[in-house]
Amino acid sequence: MTAIVFDEYEWTGRARTHVRQYAQPRFAARPEVAEAFLALRAAAAQDGIDLTPVASWRPFEAQLRNWNRKFGGEATLYDIDGQPRERAGMTPQDVVWAILGWSAFPGASRRHWGTDIDVFDRAALPAGQKVRLLPQEVRPGGVFAPLHAWLDEHIADFGFFRPYRAYRGGMYPEPWHLSYAPSAKVALEAFDIDVLARVIGEADGMLGRELALEMLPEIARRHVLVVDVA
């Protein structure tokens, strides 16, 4: 088996040399991650579940656009229950933590690694309804509650786990976010805060960049290093 290796361009999302694009279903991931995911998807199909990726590999530029839209007030901020937050009275630091409740930090997103995939059950989605990836969809009685009961029983058999199963002071719980443990572990071990600081320092057009650099040690601790483990 080929050794799993990440260079700084791959784990910061500035290169996609480690991922491949797949068409049916459409997603991008490392080859070993895709192989495991497609096996998981096939198992789900046997139980009537259309396990479909809604987000997978994402480049640095896309994560930066998400950050800027939220930091600049163009996109809604949500609380841990998936309810919109009022910006009035929030400090810039409050805004940073609110963004990072649901969105990863540019250059430090697990999306950059090609190891993580957000999923939903297309077969369970009512006609005309869009996937929102918010808590109300996965709670008991939610449209995707049966999917997540199934995932609880099966993902570990295929090498996957939920890095944000519980709230640990960083990302809010995201049961739809699956991570392939063998590869994600290597990517996390490659993380280097000095490299991340350099990448952010060179990120032209990043809103709140100086504040983000000041907060970077705590951002790294809470949003990169503290996750649920496989």
Q: Which of 1-10, 67-76, 205-214 has the lowest mean pLDDT?
A: 1-10
Q: State the average pLDDT over residues 9-13.
A: 97
Output the domain CATH number for residue 81: 3.30.1380.10
What are the tokens at 30? 């490392």
The whole-angstrom distance between residue 192's C-alpha and the CA centroid of its chain comes to 19
Q: Kindly indicate the confidence band of residue 3, based on its pLDDT and cuts at 50, 70 and 90.
A: confident
Phi-psi region of 179 (alpha: psi -120 to 50; beta: other; left: phi over 0): beta
The whole-angstrom distance between residue 129's C-alpha and the CA centroid of its chain comes to 22
Percent of the chain surpassing pLDDT 90: 97
Q: Kindly indicate the confidence band of residue 148, based on its pLDDT and cuts at 50, 70 and 90.
A: very high
- In 3D space, the residue among 116, 104, 134, 115 whose CA is nearest the CA of residue 225 turns out to be 104
- Structural domain including 153 reads 8-225
Residue type, 73: G
Q: Kindly indicate the confidence band of residue 225, based on its pLDDT and cuts at 50, 70 and 90.
A: very high
Residue 131 lies in a domain: yes
Residue 25 has a pLDDT of 96
Peptide bond into 25 cis (omega under 30): yes
Q: Kindly indicate the confidence band of residue 229, based on its pLDDT and cuts at 50, 70 and 90.
A: confident
Residue 16 lies in a domain: yes
Residue 176 lies in a domain: yes
**Is pLDDT above 70 for 1?**
no
Q: Kindly indicate the confidence band of residue 117, based on its pLDDT and cuts at 50, 70 and 90.
A: very high
Q: What is the pTM of this model?
A: 0.95
Question: Dihedrals φ, ψ of 2, to 5°?
Answer: -65, 135
Q: State the average pLDDT over residues 85-95.
A: 95
**Is pLDDT above 60 for 37?**
yes
Residue 1 lies in a domain: no
Q: State the average pLDDT over residues 1-7.
A: 83
Looking at the structure of the chain, the number of domains it has is: 1
Q: Kindly indicate the confidence band of residue 204, based on its pLDDT and cuts at 50, 70 and 90.
A: confident
Q: State the average pLDDT over residues 88-92.
A: 94
